[in-house]
Amino acid sequence: MRVLLALVLVLGLTAAAEPKTTLPDVEDEVMCVECRTGLNVSTAPVADQERAFIREKIAQGLTKQQVKDALVEAYGPDVLATPEAKGFDLSAWIIPGALVAAFAAGVALLARRWRRAPAATPAPDAPELDPADARRLDADLAAFDR
């Protein structure tokens, strides 16, 4: 029983000590607020400050979403790499969806048309050979068979 309790305790402590997110995991989803590039590629002083802020929050045991919320609280919504779902930025969310919907509608429309199209008409019969050509063809075929 004691061994089991110790095992549970050790496992619990290990889980608690594990960070809930990592710097690279957050870094590629936020921006350097000064240079307007991804934080993971920025070397500006403010980028270093942002990275220190993220490390601090990770050390406090915050999850990725909580770290991002804290970044928005500190640096404003411009710090997020994803566009906001309001104003002009809303179009970044709507247009891809609208394009996919339009494409799907186009495919559905074409599929319906193809289904409705009449069955393929058989190719017209080949013209009859005249007797002289038919004889020559038979002779040639017989020569090949030999």
Partner 1 sequence: MRPRLYWPITFAAAALVALLTYGVASVGPDTSLDEALRDGKRVEAPVKDLPRLGGDGTASLADHKGKVVVLNVWASWCGPCEAEMPLLQRTHERIARKGGMVLGIDAQEPAERGLKFVHEKGITFPNVRDNDRDYIRKFGVSAYPETFLIDRTGKIAALTRGPITQEWLDRELAPLLEEKA
Chain positions contacting partner 1, by CB under 8 A = 33-34, 44-46, 49, 53, 73-79, 88, 91, 95, 102
From the CB of 45, what's the least distance to partner 1, in Å? 5
From the CB of 10, what's the least distance to partner 1, in Å? 36
* Residue 126: strand, helix, or coil: coil
| Cβ atoms within 10 Å of 19's Cβ, excluding its own | 13
- Classify each residue of 21-50 as buried b or exposed e, where b means 16 or more C-beta atoms within 10 Å of its C-beta: beeeebbebbbbbeeeeebbebeeeebeeb
From the CB of 27, what's the least distance to partner 1, in Å? 17
Q: Given the complex with partner 1, which of 53 and 93 has the nearer CB atom? A: 53
Structure tokens at 15: 């889980």
Q: Given the complex with partner 1, which of 34 and 138 has the nearer CB atom? A: 34
* Residue at token pair 């889980």: 15
Q: Given the complex with partner 1, which of 113 and 115 has the nearer CB atom? A: 113
Task: Please say whether the beta carbons of 79 and 37 come within 8 A.
Answer: no
Q: Given the complex with partner 1, which of 2 and 113 has the nearer CB atom? A: 113
From the CB of 95, what's the least distance to partner 1, in Å? 8
Rounded Cα distance between 119 and 96, Å, is 37
